Structure 1
């Protein structure tokens, strides 16, 4: 009898232990989710200095925006985006994925309106063309996300038209030269490599024979796939600008990103570093992005960011 009582007591004790552990796990999960919901609105400005300008030019300030993923009702994000105009950048570079909802264009354009007073260039991402769909966030651990079979189309032509009418230059598989603060900038951009839509336009015509004239070659990309970074690096780019990764979006403190949603190493999912290909090195800035997946609206150890790059003399 005593043995049975002891066994029953132990069983109850183990059961209570499991219950306490499960409750603690649930509480930790709720706390983490709550923190992630809070962090997604803790917008920051990452500032970098890069000595790549020809002698006698600079400083030149580039505001790099990416992965806004706007959804109606995101008032804090809208206010923060508008406030970035106070930086008075010399150039705005938008590397795509502006939208995350079919009704997002009007509030997004209102938020970006103050930045339209400055010169700008842009390329699209997949979430400018198509609305996101619900998926298991853990699927990103298995590799880059796949294209949807029956996507909901977004009104990218309208957004692109507005950007263009405001003076921003469309670099979707295109190139363009702009003279800004007395320096010639040669831009070359591609459509989203994540959808395998990139087609290389090269550098603007007439510039290849003018290498002795002060200039800067800038490549603008949404998703930083290695094949695209390699191409532009080998083709003479002085600076690569990309987004897409969200910086990993959910990171481990002290470790960093678990995923990049493309084929670059996860330690390159956010930040300014050098890309090497075929004996040539080019600085690349990968933005950690401003928004999140609409269906996973959290960030952990990866605050939403815009990037202010100050270019100075070499």
Structure 2
């Protein structure tokens, strides 16, 4: 009796079946279909669909320009010099057991972009003390293609993260990564929520699928069953849905995507944020309609591994009880 060979077609069918069980058939079909269509446009004959990240010559061109003005080496060194940023959220209704609760926030890691940067992230978080880790997307370097190198980097990172790690996907990430990431010990929140408990007290952590490119976020499905009045925190890759989230009643909103601009003018003024949102949401702490938010500039880099006037960071958020 011979074993049946696993063809690419049968592997795709198995993946789609597993994702359908995990996410529901509509979400799985929608995300997979959009990914396949986007990749066909990038690799096929349709040249109408343009994005800087999908232009093969973009990294070389940007590198040439930075080298010409003597900034490439400095920018590359900057991209590997991570800082630990501290942020405090004050919440009037924070349960007593969660006073001083600390959340490690990682985002835009692009782990297969630069080995030195990944190692710097691992070394930066190793000595940190926190109660929970959250990751807000963009684990892969490119927006299409193989996922193996990104998964390898995420596995190494998971070994450095202690305790629970909750994550959402970004526009660089493939839905094909979900089973492997969850096998590593990441809990993906795909328009879902979980209750984080301390004794008899609890707060609610929700997460949505990518709202930037794929537009597959569903705030209703993510939060309808969160009790009214409970403290709730939403993870989103992008800040673009800040208005929807605020009116949905979330207390806190954590996101990334913007890289803080990555290449900024002196004073940290971003040249571009690649995000359909006001500039005040581009980096750091902000408030909107009673909801508090934080947009991390991220730990990694996109397109080219340089940063100018915009240092990479890992972020420690501390929850405290008090007036906003």
Is 1:160 aligned to residue 178 of structure 2?
yes
Give 1:112's match in structure 2, choosing from 158, 170, 193. 158
Q: Counterpart of 2:108?
A: 67
Deviation at 1:310, TM superposition (A): 0.9
Counterpart in 2 of 1:230?
243
Rounded to whole Å, the distance in 2 between the matches of 1:27 and 1:165 is 40
Measured in 2, the distance between the counterparts of 1:207 and 1:168 equals: 25
Is 1:41 matched with 2:80? Answer: yes
SS at 2:152's partner residue?
helix
Q: 1:260 to 1:74 in 2, by over 3 A?
A: same
Retained in 2: the 8 A contact 1:187–1:203? Answer: no
Does the Cα contact within 8 Å between 1:288 and 1:304 map onto a contact in 2? Answer: yes
Question: Is contact 2:107–2:256 with CA below 8 Å preserved after alignment?
Answer: yes
1:80 aligns with 2:121: yes
Deviation at 1:206, TM superposition (A): 6.3
Q: For residue 289 of structure 1, what is the aligned residue in structure 2?
A: 298
Change in CA separation of 1:110 and 1:274 when aligned onto 2, cut-off 3 Å: same
Tell me by how many angstroms 1:85 deviates: 3.6
Q: After the TM superposition, list the runs of 4 or more consecutive aligned residues in structure 1 that deviate by more than 3 angstroms.
A: 26-30, 165-168, 180-183
In structure 2, the gaps of 5 or more residues are: 1-64
1:98 aligned residue (134, 139, 151) = 139
CA distance in 2, matches of 1:180, 1:251: 41
Change (3 A) 1:88 1:165: farther
Do the aligned residues in 1 keep the contact of 2:206 with 2:222 (CA within 8 Å)? yes
Aligned equivalents of 1:99 and 1:28: distance in 2?
26
Question: Any residues of structure 2 matched to 1:1-314 within 5 Å, and which?
Answer: 29-52=68-91, 54=94, 56-57=96-97, 58-71=99-112, 74-100=115-141, 102=146, 103-115=149-161, 117-129=162-174, 156-157=175-176, 159-180=177-198, 183-195=201-213, 196-200=215-219, 201-203=221-223, 205=225, 207-208=227-228, 211=229, 215-225=230-240, 228-254=241-267, 256-276=269-289, 281-293=290-302, 295-314=303-322
Between structure 1 and structure 2, the one with the greater Rg is 1
Maintained 8 Å contact 1:173/1:199: yes
The question of whether the paired residues in 1 share the 8 Å contact of 2:167 and 2:189 is answered with yes
Pairwise CA distance, 1:74? 0.6
3-state DSSP of counterpart to 2:70: helix
Structure 1 residue 114, shift from structure 2 partner: 2.1
Contact 1:82 1:111 in 2 (8 A): no
- For residues 59 and 182 of structure 1, the distance between their equivalents in structure 2, rounded to whole angstroms, comes to 17
How far did residue 207 of structure 1 move? 2.0
C-alpha contact 1:256 1:267 (8 A) present in aligned 2: no
The count of corresponding residues between Structure 1 and Structure 2 is: 249
**Contact preservation (8 Å) 1:72, 1:107:** no
